[in-house]
Chain A
Amino acid sequence: MDSPVHRVSLGDTWSRRVHPDMASERLIQSFSVEQLTNILDGGAQNTALRRKVESIIHSDPEFSMKDNYFMNQNERYVAAVQKRFHFQIIAKRLGWSENSPEFYYAYRALSGELALGLHTVFLKSLQSLGSEEQIAKWTPLCNEFRIIASYAQTELGHGTNLRGLETEATYDAATQEFVVHSPTLTATKWWPGDMGRSATHTLVQAQLICSGARQGMHAFIVPIRSLRDHTPLPGVTVGDIGPKMDFDNTDHGFLQLDHVRIPRENMLSRFAQVLPDGTYVKLGTQQTNYFSMVVVRVELLLGEIIPLLQKACVIAIRYSVIRRQSSIRPSDPEAKILDYQTQQQKLLPQLATAYAFHFLARNLLKFLHSSYDAIQNKDFSHLPELHALSAGIKAMTSDLCFQGSELCRRACGGHGYSKLSGLPSLVTRVTASCTYEGDNTVLYLQTARFLVKNYLQTQAIPGSTQKSLPPSVAYLTAPYLARCPAQKAADFLHPKLYTTAWAHVAARLIKDSAHHLETLIQSGADWDEAWNQTTVIHLQTAKAHCYYISVKSFTETLEKLENKPAVQQVLKRLCDLYALHGILTNAADFLHDGFLSGAQVDAVRTGYLELLGLVRKDAILLTDAFDFTDPSLNSALGCYDGNVYERLFHWAQKSPTNTQGNPAYEKYLRPLLQSWKSKL
């Protein structure tokens, strides 16, 4: 806890002093912040490594992000390319390899403000879909940046539904080439990152047609820009898709291919091959391709989505102890706004969620790794569960992280609307995660399908399936509990009690889902029709299941902290708050079958309001424990030292609207004002 050098701000004079309202929050420490940071990092050695990387990044002026908010789309793209370029050189010098923890920490320190992110996605796809020769050929080209690659799947008219993609790759046996073609306007590839301006190659997902038969989606490496002068190659129409809410660092692109010919060897052929004569040969199932999609989703959680909510909490909570507004008692000085119950109710459940999701994602990552090991031994049995969990958790996490960070932004009043607060950028980034890598509604429904299927299995052969139920749905066969035994508010502060309550609701909803579906089927609808007519309830079911999983994962994390009682206590309060907040938000589901009575819901509310007051005391320490550096927060409101107003004033001066002239005055205001005589 000694000198948190890594946290110190941008070297401005006022930041040598911590704002007294911030200092007072850190005076009494009911737990060791450093210990909690280590837990979040997964060990003290990780914390040390992370800080080392952060100090390398932040001490390098080329990586400065302080002008980010003043840049237009083009400038931010250029800056991101420049940073990426500089980063590659440093990484090479220091021996940081792709996929190393250093890479990950550097990305975190730079808040993802780098270009060419899809280069990595290309490499990963190559490794999972390419043959050994293809991997050997293309990997070094990528690593040395002799080519810049992207990944092109989504089309103008087609997204989540892969089978709907229209781009075609037709094999021409005469020349042993594929002819890759966009047959319609809606077939234009649209949204792929790095493709608008940067990429020289892209991995195109297209319908394979050979020997006159359509063989479904396959991946093709298509050169799109000249390696000599970067101009688009013949037959290629490529460009940027225009301004977006955020991600200006990435040049999302469009691509139209007009009968572009590529050699036969450019089709990735680990799982399927087209022989020179046009014969299509399948080489096994694409289980691992499907696995790589899961990997992307799980890595997104800790690498992108959850830190955005964590940062939003840090900024909003720090600002809320500096900002004073009105007074609680007329005679008192103006109160810190965090002392208002309504402000606590906005922010503290978000903080609890940020912690809950962190542990949830960590546990999911562990499950992913063990599944990976199993797959190496040709055991694919965990895949359906892993797929269902990762889909639902990605959907829940991105939904609630978005809602939470937007709430944090609005909880900062007017200043939260200024980009200098850092909050608008967090919101616009996290909101994209609700639709990319699988639209959340579609993902929830995938989870629901898994839940309903498992439930129907338990019904088909009663009693005999208990052992074969995947662990995450084992509660489907848990002993039935009709009523919650809690008598008073304090009873609800028991992890076992509220975990059981969540399991009860999730199980009931799964049964409801199945019954609705079966009722429709019995009345004559076919399965697909019946499924579409019942999707609203399936969504609700998947959400309840995921919430249950997150509560359970949080409580399991607590159990492992027996030897750190102080940290355990503060985390338990967050866990309680998370679980009870969820119950109150979904009170109807708990009241519905009488599992909770009205009086019990009132008791939950009492417990919840008391928790707000308790968590309030540790709020700043809990945000400190995330250990985000000031430069990575890039917020005038959320810096460690709490010098909000000086920073805001100082940063505003640097806005181009102040440093550059006012052409509008010369052109329009002056003529407007010129009718002025000597009246004033």
Chain B
Amino acid sequence: MNQDLRREREAASFNPELLTHVLDGSPENTRRRREIENLILNDPDFQHEDLNFLTRSQRYEVAVRKSANMVKKIREFGIADPEEIMWFKKIHLVNFVEPVGLNFSMFIPTLLNQGTTAQQEKWLFSSQGLQIIGTYAQTEMGHGTHLRGLETTATYDPETKEFILNSPTVTSIKWWPGGLGKTSNHAIVLAQLITKGKCYGLHAFIVPIREIGTHKPLPGITVGDIGPKFGYDEMDNGYLKMDNYRIPRENMLMKYAQVKPDGTYVKPVSNKLTYGTMVFVRSFLVGEAARSLSKACTIAIRYSAVRHQSEIKPGEPEPQILDFQTQQYKLFPLLATAYAFQFVGAYVKETYHRINEGIGQGDLSELPELHALVAGLKAFTSWTTNAAIEACRMACGGHGYSHCSGLPNIYVTFTPTCTFEGENTVMMLQTARFLMKSYDQVHSGKLVGGMVSYLNDRPTQRIQPQQVAVWPTVVDIDSPDSLTEAYKLRAARLVEIAAKNLQNEVIQRESKEVAWNLTSVDLVRASEAHCHYVAVKLFSEKLLKIQDKSVHAVLRNLCLLYCLYGISQKAGDFLQGSIMTESQITQVNQRIKELLTAIRPDAVALVDAFDFQDVTLGSVLGRYDGNVYENLFEWAKKSPLNKSEVHESYYKYLKPLQSKL
């Protein structure tokens, strides 16, 4: 092991294993997770090629091979728990990108949710056994988040009892669905249902797209890959164009709405449950943000402990770059954020499961708040994480730019989270809608509960910045609870400002919708402040549950850093709202620097506690043993450009160039 890392680990003030248990939820979870990880790592079938040296087509091929393998393995190892399957996939697939993944994550759940018993009998078994591979085709080239805008049509023909599917325009071509380009032979297609000359809105249809046996596109189907992307090389995101393509009536998913053989449309009774899936996916993404950021921090912090550069005092040996204040200031707030998001992710998951049980018993009361909260948290955590991964990469200097660092890969795999499963700005505005509703509710005399309950008790003077005297307490910058209060006040103030501006615009514009658009910047700000408050609150509450003293101490420092760093970044809000004074902001900045120094000795142990296997990190810079340079050189030698000593282009171009000029 690298000497620097060994020293760092020996000097840590706490046992990282205990912190790993906290992150996993229990020692038992940690044990079981490692057991599953080791199953894969010790499996001779698990050959982990370095994807960086492969072309896109090769990466796709590897992913398909692994997908196919995985189905067998999961059965072989008897892994059935969804959480455990997730652990398995994460380490098995490395980038967690799986061409047949949509079959399990979208095709089958949709079939279960929206298909009749007969339909489930017909399709479920074969899709579970991958005898057919399905995907889910919703997004079109010209239409994304706004579902009603989709153009694909399914017109019922009572003569033949078939639906005729059409992509009437270029913009209506299905675009982006994963696994559609090359892998799937069936798709659940979302289309506008037209029967008896009337359009009934979006419905789901099972559409065979490739011939069983030859895998060739069926007549009337144009299907292919949408081409190279920023990342997700392993995934064949596809397009699908349908020309008068006929499917039997029974292929419309009819658990709720139905089309009778004669073309009569039967309305669904209630369809509230469909957004349960959406909430689930988004809450999962909050956890993904935490994991991706934790990985990036692990790499950047380990590398910063190994890398030596420049000098703090002339004549002294080059220090570890982690000893530079600027490097600590770049990385430690991100480390604190990673921990904050770990706890936010755990909270969202627990809440989802709790509420889901309630839904099972017919209790939908908590769903709106969860839906609103998860939308905002998905946006809040993914925006922050997106910027933070890049910051980690840049903190590794030139080597961060090389794929050897693993950071480019983490970034391009994570960044679509900002735009998929609900574009972030739209998500923030959904949260804002809930905040505005709650605000109105309070003003009409009804109390609100849950995370927005702070709207109940805010004094109206709060919006006037001059009246400092109204604050009952002074913020104590060494107390997570007091800082949570400060964030709460900020959220309350920004919600109120957005609400008032919205009211003003409504009066001026005489249209709620125009007013909404003209207030949307304020609304997004309010949502962000709300989510930030939630994150701070969850982190400080988590501290109360930590038993071990040394772990508690180090987490408390991280929590303080998370809170204070946020205040220093958004100091304008805290000053303008008179939540804090100028001199307090100066103290905050001073305290941040003290915390950097306090966290420094534990930095490596804190990333060790995330407990990532080297294969999962996929990084030469972030290796557990810290032997960076030797392995970097070995890695580069494997590059395809080094396969021959003299490159072909020399004969083709360089040599002739020398003779022609």
B224 touches A645 (CB 8 A): no
Chain A interface mostly: helix
- B residues near A434, Cβ cutoff 8 Å: 394
Cα–Cα distance between A342 and B432 once the two chains are bound (Å): 13
> Does B55 sit within 8 A of A, measured CB to CB?
yes
Cα–Cα distance between A341 and B230 once the two chains are bound (Å): 27
> Does A258 sit within 8 A of B, measured CB to CB?
no
Contacts A78-B652, A242-B638, A342-B520 known; 4 new A-B pairs at CB < 8 A: A72-B640, A242-B636, A588-B574, A669-B68
> Does A88 sit within 8 A of B, measured CB to CB?
yes
> Does A672 sit within 8 A of B, measured CB to CB?
yes
| B315-343 CB contacts (< 8 Å) to partner A | 318, 324-327, 329-330
Q: What is the total number of residues of chain B having a CB less than 8 Å from a CB of chain A?
A: 141
Can you list 21 contacts pairing A with B, beta carbon distance less than 8 Å?
Answer: A73-B640, A82-B652, A160-B397, A164-B318, A232-B645, A242-B636, A326-B145, A330-B513, A342-B429, A417-B232, A424-B229, A428-B408, A441-B330, A535-B324, A539-B326, A587-B571, A588-B572, A645-B173, A655-B227, A660-B57, A673-B133
Interface stretch, picked from A191-199, A353-361, A365-373, is A191-199
Given contacts A241-B636, A432-B401, A591-B575, contact A663 B68 (CB under 8 A): no
> Does A159 sit within 8 A of B, measured CB to CB?
yes
Cα–Cα distance between A574 and B363 once the two chains are bound (Å): 53
Cα–Cα distance between A144 and B208 once the two chains are bound (Å): 61
> Which one, B173, B313, B646, B656, contacts A231 given CB within 8 A?
B646
> Which one, B133, B181, B325, contacts A536 given CB within 8 A?
B325
- B residues near A414, Cβ cutoff 8 Å: 139, 144, 175-176, 416, 419-420
> Which one, B133, B311, B576, contacts A669 given CB within 8 A?
B133
| B39-76 CB contacts (< 8 Å) to partner A | 52-53, 55-57, 60-61, 64-65, 67-68, 71
- B residues near A78, Cβ cutoff 8 Å: 648-649, 652-653
Chain B residue nearest in CB terms to A79: B649
Chain A residue nearest in CB terms to B590: A516
Given contacts A241-B402, A342-B521, A345-B521, contact A664 B144 (CB under 8 A): no
B325 touches A85 (CB 8 A): no
> Does B267 sit within 8 A of A, measured CB to CB?
no
B161-178: CB near A (< 8 Å → 1, else 0) gives 000000000110101100
> Does B126 sit within 8 A of A, measured CB to CB?
yes
- B residues near A676, Cβ cutoff 8 Å: 126, 131-132, 212-213
Interface stretch, picked from A172-180, A286-294, A458-466, A594-602, is A594-602
- A residues near B144, Cβ cutoff 8 Å: 325, 413-414
> Does A439 sit within 8 A of B, measured CB to CB?
yes
> Does B30 sit within 8 A of A, measured CB to CB?
no
Chain B residue nearest in CB terms to A420: B227
Cα–Cα distance between A187 and B317 once the two chains are bound (Å): 16
> Does A374 sit within 8 A of B, measured CB to CB?
no
B182 touches A323 (CB 8 A): no
> Does A592 sit within 8 A of B, measured CB to CB?
yes
B513 touches A328 (CB 8 A): yes
- B residues near A594, Cβ cutoff 8 Å: 582
Least CB distance from A96 to B in Å reads: 13
> Which one, B142, B229, B312, B572, contacts A323 given CB within 8 A?
B142
Chain B interface mostly: helix
B401 touches A435 (CB 8 A): yes
Given contacts A242-B636, A648-B141, contact A341 B517 (CB under 8 A): yes
B649 touches A77 (CB 8 A): yes
> Does B226 sit within 8 A of A, measured CB to CB?
yes
Given contacts A92-B661, A657-B57, contact A69 B309 (CB under 8 A): no
Given contacts A645-B141, A676-B126, contact A242 B55 (CB under 8 A): no
Least CB distance from A329 to B in Å reads: 5
Q: Which 5 A-B pairs have the closest CB atoms?
A: A587-B572, A588-B571, A657-B225, A598-B465, A240-B641
Interface stretch, picked from A150-158, A215-223, A307-315, A488-496, is A150-158
> Does A456 sit within 8 A of B, measured CB to CB?
no
> Which one, A324, A416, A424, A680, contacts B142 given CB within 8 A?
A324
Chain A residue nearest in CB terms to B317: A164
> Which one, B419, B521, B648, contacts A410 given CB within 8 A?
B419
- B residues near A323, Cβ cutoff 8 Å: 142
Chain A residue nearest in CB terms to B420: A414
> Does B639 sit within 8 A of A, measured CB to CB?
yes
B636 touches A646 (CB 8 A): no
Cα–Cα distance between A432 and B405 once the two chains are bound (Å): 14
Select the residue from B71, B149, B641, B650 with max chain A CB neighbours within 10 A.
B641
Interface stretch, picked from A40-48, A131-139, A526-534, A553-561, is A526-534
Cα–Cα distance between A418 and B238 once the two chains are bound (Å): 12
| B381-436 CB contacts (< 8 Å) to partner A | 386, 390, 393-394, 397-398, 400-404, 408, 412, 415-416, 418-420, 423-425, 429
- A residues near B654, Cβ cutoff 8 Å: 81, 85, 145, 148, 198, 230
Cα–Cα distance between A101 and B312 once the two chains are bound (Å): 43
> Which one, A251, A339, A537, A586, contacts B589 given CB within 8 A?
A537
B145 touches A325 (CB 8 A): yes
Chain B residue nearest in CB terms to A648: B141
A652 touches B227 (CB 8 A): yes
B309 touches A242 (CB 8 A): no
- A residues near B152, Cβ cutoff 8 Å: none
B629-649: CB near A (< 8 Å → 1, else 0) gives 110110111111110011111
B575 touches A588 (CB 8 A): yes
Given contacts A241-B639, A655-B228, A675-B131, contact A445 B326 (CB under 8 A): yes
Given contacts A657-B60, A664-B64, contact A673 B312 (CB under 8 A): no
Cα–Cα distance between A594 and B582 once the two chains are bound (Å): 9
